[in-house]
Protein backbone atom coordinates (compact mmCIF):
# COMPACT_ATOMS: atom_id res chain seq x y z
CA UNK A 1 0.00 0.00 0.00
CA UNK A 2 2.85 2.39 0.79
CA UNK A 3 4.43 1.83 -2.62
CA UNK A 4 1.16 2.73 -4.30
CA UNK A 5 0.95 5.98 -2.33
CA UNK A 6 4.47 7.02 -3.36
CA UNK A 7 3.80 6.08 -6.98
CA UNK A 8 0.61 8.18 -6.97
CA UNK A 9 2.42 11.10 -5.33
CA UNK A 10 5.23 10.89 -7.89
CA UNK A 11 2.76 10.81 -10.79
CA UNK A 12 0.89 13.80 -9.37
CA UNK A 13 4.13 15.79 -9.13
CA UNK A 14 5.04 14.91 -12.72
CA UNK A 15 1.61 16.06 -13.93
CA UNK A 16 1.81 19.25 -11.85
CA UNK A 17 5.24 20.05 -13.26
CA UNK A 18 4.41 19.62 -16.94
CA UNK A 19 2.80 23.01 -17.62
CA UNK A 20 5.37 25.17 -15.80
CA UNK A 21 8.18 23.23 -17.50
CA UNK A 22 6.73 23.32 -21.01
CA UNK A 23 5.12 26.76 -20.94
CA UNK A 24 6.03 28.97 -17.97
CA UNK A 25 4.34 32.04 -19.48
CA UNK A 26 1.02 30.19 -19.86
CA UNK A 27 1.38 28.75 -16.33
CA UNK A 28 1.82 32.26 -14.93
CA UNK A 29 -1.26 33.48 -16.83
CA UNK A 30 -3.34 30.62 -15.42
CA UNK A 31 -2.34 31.53 -11.87
CA UNK A 32 -3.03 35.20 -12.42
CA UNK A 33 -6.53 34.32 -13.60
CA UNK A 34 -7.00 31.91 -10.69
CA UNK A 35 -6.04 34.65 -8.22
CA UNK A 36 -9.00 36.67 -9.48
CA UNK A 37 -11.55 33.95 -8.65
CA UNK A 38 -13.75 34.29 -5.59
CA UNK A 39 -13.37 31.94 -2.62
CA UNK A 40 -16.59 30.17 -3.60
CA UNK A 41 -15.35 29.53 -7.14
CA UNK A 42 -12.04 28.17 -5.87
CA UNK A 43 -13.87 25.98 -3.34
CA UNK A 44 -16.12 24.63 -6.12
CA UNK A 45 -13.11 23.79 -8.32
CA UNK A 46 -11.44 22.04 -5.38
CA UNK A 47 -14.58 20.03 -4.64
CA UNK A 48 -14.99 19.09 -8.31
CA UNK A 49 -11.35 17.99 -8.45
CA UNK A 50 -11.74 15.86 -5.32
CA UNK A 51 -14.90 14.21 -6.64
CA UNK A 52 -13.34 13.50 -10.02
CA UNK A 53 -10.23 12.05 -8.36
CA UNK A 54 -12.32 9.79 -6.13
CA UNK A 55 -14.36 8.66 -9.14
CA UNK A 56 -11.21 7.81 -11.11
CA UNK A 57 -9.79 5.87 -8.15
CA UNK A 58 -13.08 4.07 -7.61
CA UNK A 59 -13.43 3.06 -11.26
CA UNK A 60 -9.80 2.36 -12.17
CA UNK A 61 -8.02 2.03 -8.84
CA UNK A 62 -6.12 -1.02 -7.67
CA UNK A 63 -9.28 -2.66 -6.25
CA UNK A 64 -11.38 -1.70 -9.33
- Is the model's pLDDT at 64 over the cut of 70? no
Main-chain dihedrals φ then ψ at residue 46, nearest 5 degrees? -65, -45
Report the alpha-carbon distance of residue 42 to residue 46 in Å, rounded. Answer: 6
Q: What are the extents of the domains in the chain?
A: 2-60
* pLDDT of amino acid 23: 96
Rounded Cα distance between 10 and 59, Å, is: 21
Q: In this predicted structure, what is the pLDDT of residue 61?
A: 74
Would you state the pLDDT for residue 48?
96
User: Please, what is the end-to-end C-alpha distance for the chain in angstroms?
Assistant: 15
Q: Minimal CA–CA distance to 32: which of 43, 24, 40, 22?
A: 24
The predicted pLDDT at position 3 comes to 83
Q: What pLDDT digit, counting tens, does each position of 3-56 carry?
A: 888 888 999 999 999 999 999 999 999 999 999 999 999 999 999 999 998 998
Amino acid sequence: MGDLFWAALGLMLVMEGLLPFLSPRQWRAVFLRAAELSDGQIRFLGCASLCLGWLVLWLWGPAG
